[in-house]
Amino acid sequence: MELRYGINPHQAAASAAPLSPDGWPVRLLHGEPSFINVLDALNGWQLVQQASRALGRPAAASFKHVSPAGAAVSGPVDDVTAELFGIAGDEVGAVSSAYLRARDADPKSSYGDFAAVSHPVDAELAQLLTGMVCDGIIAPGYAPGTVAQLSRKKNGRFLIMEANEAFVPPRHESREVFGLRLTQQRDEVQLSSALLDRTVGDELPATALEDLLLGLAVLRFTQSNSVCYLRGGMTLGVGAGQQSRVDCTRLAGAKTDTWWLRRHPAVRALAFRPDVRRQDRINWQIRFVEGDLTLNEAKHLERALTTPAEELTPEERAQWLRRLDGVAFASDGALPFRDNVDHAHRHGVRYIAEPGGSIRSDEIETACREHHITLARTGLRLFHH
């Protein structure tokens, strides 16, 4: 497979070739992928395939720069998301609901994403994608007519890839860096509820088990260090690629707060002019929630609205954030200090999954007990680089 270019446009002569005698894990149906497009497709497909197998429902992910901006399994599409896309949330099909919920975790970052779904693309999802800024999709199949419909996106540059569900990857994988070939055994541990059996505190309810399992699938294909917050079968905030784990925790926590504050009545009451595009509405909602508008931004927001916005006071923000509860939190590596637990608690976390085994595990357990958080120690580190 010839690629448009490598990681950067000036890195030419890029290509992809299968290593396994079983052939290609994916098939290009339309478009010219770049190096990063292929990485997003391969990581995204593995994530949704494993999440769907573990949870028994269709799964979707929205990838940007080789990490998921959001991921979810099928489920209810709430009023905020439904209103944004002009749909009836209770009538959305399973695959479409999974993708809409995945994209809603961080819709600003999902602008121009690479989508991945565990089940074939149907007419409903294809129609939704035609109205979104999305660069491509990978799926195990496509309903008749959907490939032709999607191939017209982006002036014919939309990428369409088909995953081979029967493909079995080699047991070992290699990477060449600066004249060295690094080889390791592929991570083949199956994700199941058995990983969450060792708990401290109250028993994990079924909903938390599902959320944490989804979290493990997300972290497995997110650049480390990484953590994620989840609730109701969807990510609320993903923190990726930070050198400090607590920075990941705080970053993902801020995204979780933004997700929740977008549901505040004052944000939903923002009256945008009819000509303001959907993505611009999303971006303005987020900037309004963040509350640190520059003078220039404030002027542009005022022009985008039909009536002036009523700012959220610090008291209103704090009161609304206290209503967020029942959140699950997963970490790809052991929590090294209790500050991760203390920060996670600020964002409604009641359940935590982490490998355990740090020299301060006792402090982590103590912090969880103080905050009435159920702690599950998986014994499984999920670093991804």
Residue 73 sits in a domain of what CATH number? Answer: 3.40.140.20
The confidence score (pLDDT) of residue 127 equals: 95
In a domain, 384, yes or no: no
- At 113, the pLDDT band (50, 70, 90 cuts) reads very high
User: Hey, which residues are catalytic here?
Assistant: 64-65, 225, 385
Hey, what are 305's tokens? Answer: 């609205």
Q: Is the pLDDT of residue 22 over 80?
A: no
pTM of the complete model:
0.95
In terms of Cβ atoms closer than 10 Å to its own Cβ (0-12, 13-18, 19+), residue 116 is buried
Q: Are residues 282 and 160 in the same domain?
A: no
The confidence score (pLDDT) of residue 13 equals: 79
Q: Please write the tens of the pLDDT for every residue from 52-79.
A: 999 999 999 999 999 999 999 999 999 9
Q: Are residues 99 and 204 in the same domain?
A: no
Domain residues for the domain of 107 are 26-168
**Residue 385 to residue 327: CA distance in whole angstroms:** 27
- For the chain, the average pLDDT equals 95
Q: Is the pLDDT of residue 301 over 90?
A: yes
Q: Are residues 253 and 270 in the same domain?
A: no
Q: Are residues 117 and 221 in the same domain?
A: no
Q: Are residues 118 and 88 in the same domain?
A: yes
**Residue 366 to residue 341: CA distance in whole angstroms:** 10
Average pLDDT over residues 225-232: 97
- At 355, the pLDDT band (50, 70, 90 cuts) reads very high
The confidence score (pLDDT) of residue 230 equals: 98
Q: Are residues 98 and 245 in the same domain?
A: no
What is the count of structural domains for the chain?
A: 3
Q: Is the pLDDT of residue 26 over 90?
A: yes
Q: Are residues 271 and 195 in the same domain?
A: no
Q: Is the pLDDT of residue 89 over 80?
A: no
Q: Are residues 64 and 161 in the same domain?
A: yes
**Residue 35 to residue 2: CA distance in whole angstroms:** 10
Q: Percentage of residues in the chain with pLDDT exceeding 90?
A: 90
- At 21, the pLDDT band (50, 70, 90 cuts) reads confident
Q: Which residues of 24-61 are buried (b: 16+ CB within 10 A; e: fewer)?
A: ebbebbbbebbbbbbbbbbbbbbbbbbbbebbebbbbb
The confidence score (pLDDT) of residue 91 equals: 87
- At 19, the pLDDT band (50, 70, 90 cuts) reads confident
